[in-house]
Amino acid sequence: MNSFKRNVPLLAVSQALMMSSMSLIITTVALTGSMIAPDKSLSTLPLSVLFIAVMLTSIPAAMLMKKIGRKQAFLTATLFGITGGSLATFAIINNLFWVFVLGTMMVGIFNGFGNYFRFVAADSVEKDKKSKAISYVLLGGVVAAVVGPNLANYTHESIASAMFAGSYASIIIIYLLIAITLSFLKLPDTVAAIKDEGIEPRPLKVIATQPKFIIGIICGMLGYGIMSFVMTATPLAMHHQHSFGDTSFVIQWHTLGMFAPSFFTGHLIKRFGVYNILLTGALFGFACVFVNLNGTTVNHYWAALVFLGIGWNFLFIGATTLITETYHAVERSKTQALNDFLIFSTVAISSLSAGALQHNFGWRFVNIGVLPLLVVVLFSIVWGKLKYNHK
């Protein structure tokens, strides 16, 4: 299909750039916040505000895309990313914590739009190619695993008087590149396509109470929340024991773990079934906690964060695949908006609580705290396997 060959690569490049910015921010934001925050316990607040902005943007973004088209909405959103990078750079140079928070909020607004890249890819291909399209778009994150942490490492001292200011200045260029890439998208007339379908839209409550939707939401919401919680706390846990270069290395491999499996996750879902891949993702989550509870060397952090990334990949792609099977074209805006609103509400809470829990109770408590959530994910997957009696 022409759409698959043209749009999916462009969306993958845009995803790669967006995630490069995010992996740079994740690598640096807690340390930057700790340097300029009036209270050290607020060090992860900028990242939490970023995710809160994603959450609050998800529904308005879907409404705007429905009104003016997805391509135009994406291009408009890049202005927020550029503004966010500019504000964050200015804030670090001038030691203005709350302006830095405002900058990360602007980045979050862009991400609220950018998180629909995977849905745009899935909605533009045939049903049997949806999981592959989602995987290929998320595959752009492999580039982010290399670019983001290394860009942070090479630029964090580029402005001598303000550590990390150079890192945030570099993301301005990233959002300019995203705008250029998205300008080449050719998307179908979604309004005409919806009218042609001729299906009466169901109430959101009816869509959201489907067992497949509930399982998808649980796996996507808790899978992403667990990943964000542990990942956000990791740089803080490593800070007093290991160098920033070690932290950058761990985050880089974590990002690779998140996205490198996308080379084959779509094929695995087609081969073994979505529920088996979701189950494997949950087991990788348990493996992450096991490793973290058994040591704090660089190798322990490295292995655990790779397992965490792989688990997130299987859970997120599997969950997104399930969600795309629960709605018709006429219902997709509100369904996708609800999905992302719930996911990023959880991510915001996770990232906000991670800093405080790590600061007050320590690394062991952070890891033990995610075990009940992993159990909920595991039971939801087993319920799905039994209910639908398939892979």
Q: Decide if 21 contacts 169 (C-beta within 8 A).
A: no
Alpha carbons 327 and 202: distance in angstroms, whole number: 9
Nearest to 234 by CA among 363, 351, 368, 348: 363
Alpha carbons 23 and 68: distance in angstroms, whole number: 30
| The pair of three-digit structure tokens given for residue 286, joined into one six-digit string | 């348990």
Task: Walk me through the domains of the chain, giving residue ranges and CATH numbers.
Answer: 2-388 (1.20.1250.20)
| The pair of three-digit structure tokens given for residue 390, joined into one six-digit string | 């398939």
The pLDDT of residue 196? 46
| The pair of three-digit structure tokens given for residue 276, joined into one six-digit string | 């088996």
Please name the amino acid found at residue 157.
E
Alpha carbons 378 and 180: distance in angstroms, whole number: 41
The pLDDT of residue 188? 67
Q: Decide if 225 contacts 372 (C-beta within 8 A).
A: no
Please name the amino acid found at residue 249.
F
Helices (H), 156-210: 165-182, 190-197, 204-208
The pLDDT of residue 195? 52
Helices (H), 94-162: 97-114, 117-123, 130-138, 141-155
| The pair of three-digit structure tokens given for residue 308, joined into one six-digit string | 């965490």
Phi, psi dihedral angles at 139 (to 5 degrees): -60, -25
Phi, psi dihedral angles at 124 (to 5 degrees): -100, 5
| Alpha carbon distances (Å) from 246 to 96, 297, 302, 356 | 28, 10, 9, 23
Phi, psi dihedral angles at 197 (to 5 degrees): -65, -35
Alpha carbons 102 and 385: distance in angstroms, whole number: 44
Alpha carbons 103 and 167: distance in angstroms, whole number: 13
Q: Decide if 287 contacts 369 (C-beta within 8 A).
A: no
Alpha carbons 162 and 151: distance in angstroms, whole number: 16
Radius of gyration of the chain (CA): 20
The pLDDT of residue 40? 74
| The pair of three-digit structure tokens given for residue 218, joined into one six-digit string | 């649980």
The pLDDT of residue 2? 58
Helix (H) or strand (E) holding 266: helix 265-272
Neighbour tally for 1: CB within 10 Å: 12
Nearest to 293 by CA among 352, 369, 222, 224: 369
Nearest to 289 by CA among 233, 230, 234, 224: 230
Neighbour tally for 38: CB within 10 Å: 7
| Alpha carbon distances (Å) from 35 to 38, 163, 233 | 9, 9, 16
Q: Which pLDDT tens digits describe the chain residue by residue (391 residues)?
A: 456 677 888 998 999 999 899 888 888 888 888 888 888 778 778 988 898 898 899 889 988 998 888 899 999 999 999 999 999 999 999 999 999 999 999 999 999 999 899 888 888 777 777 788 888 888 877 887 788 878 887 887 778 788 888 899 999 999 999 999 999 988 765 555 555 456 788 999 999 999 999 999 999 999 999 998 998 888 888 887 888 788 888 988 898 898 889 888 888 998 899 999 999 999 999 999 999 999 989 999 999 999 999 999 999 999 999 998 898 888 888 898 899 899 988 988 887 788 778 878 888 988 999 999 999 999 999 999 887 765 5
Strands of 189-327, DSSP E: none
CA 94 to chain centre: 29
| The pair of three-digit structure tokens given for residue 21, joined into one six-digit string | 């910015």
